[in-house]
Amino acid sequence: MLRGSRISTAALAACVLLAVPAAAKAQEMHPAGTAEQRQAMQTLSWMDGEWVGEATIFMGPGAGAGHPHTERIGPMLGGSIKVIEGRSVGGPDGAPAFNAFAVVSWDDATDRYTMRSYANGQAGDFPLEATADGFSWTAPARGGEMRYVTTFTDGEWVETGHFVMPGRDPMKVIELRLRRRGDTDWPAGDPVVP
């Protein structure tokens, strides 16, 4: 019985000694995302900062109206994700007419970007494609889909959203025209320190 206990204790000690370095290595491997994720986010680094301009609505109530619009964007997790907040002001009291939040990430396994978006009481994951001068993404909508295309040229961010239905020409719904106001340390600034 004593001999069996020594073997069991020795085997357990060997397993623990082997498991501890493996667990420690797993924690060290991706403390703030992978190198591939950080590299992919560099493609979108032009977005970082505070943006101001106007959102113009082309359909529905208030068609043709422009609203002051802002975006604030910054990296988190060592630059492996990008966090975005968009806000349009609706009236003289400064209340938001539109407010959205999103997280853009890179999936190493599928070699693609994904945007997790929250807006209008809805949430969803949407594929995002980086382009030579911006990005594009598509979201399902009742009866069709919304296609958004963003270009960044000469310091201006222009984003257009079209509603697309099968068998019909795309209908322009929204256009953003923004200029970068400056840097921001949002959202990573002032972290809670233990």
For residues 109, 76, 41, 101, the Cα torsion angle rounded to the nearest 10 degrees is: 90
State how far the Cα of 4 lies from the Cα of 190, in Å rounded to an integer. Answer: 56
State how far the Cα of 176 lies from the Cα of 47, in Å rounded to an integer. Answer: 14
Element (H, E) at 28: helix 2-29
The pLDDT-based confidence of 185 (bands split at 50, 70, 90) is very high
Return the pLDDT at 38: 96
State how far the Cα of 180 lies from the Cα of 79, in Å rounded to an integer. Answer: 20
Q: What is the pTM of this model?
A: 0.80
Whether residue 11 is predicted with pLDDT greater than 90 in this model: the reply is no
Judged by DSSP in three states, 34 sits in coil
pLDDT digits (tens, 9 = 90+) for 52-99: 999 999 987 778 888 999 999 999 999 999 999 999 998 778 788 889
CA-based end-to-end distance of the chain: 48
Return the pLDDT at 16: 47
In this prediction, residues 158-167 reach a mean pLDDT of: 96
Q: Where are the alpha helices (DSSP H) in the chain?
A: 2-29, 35-42
User: What backbone phi and psi angles, to 5 degrees, belong to 132?
Assistant: -65, -30
pLDDT digits (tens, 9 = 90+) for 120-132: 899 999 999 999 9
pLDDT digits (tens, 9 = 90+) for 13-36: 444 445 545 544 444 555 689 999
Entry field: residues in the chain: 194
State how far the Cα of 7 lies from the Cα of 14, in Å rounded to an integer. Answer: 10
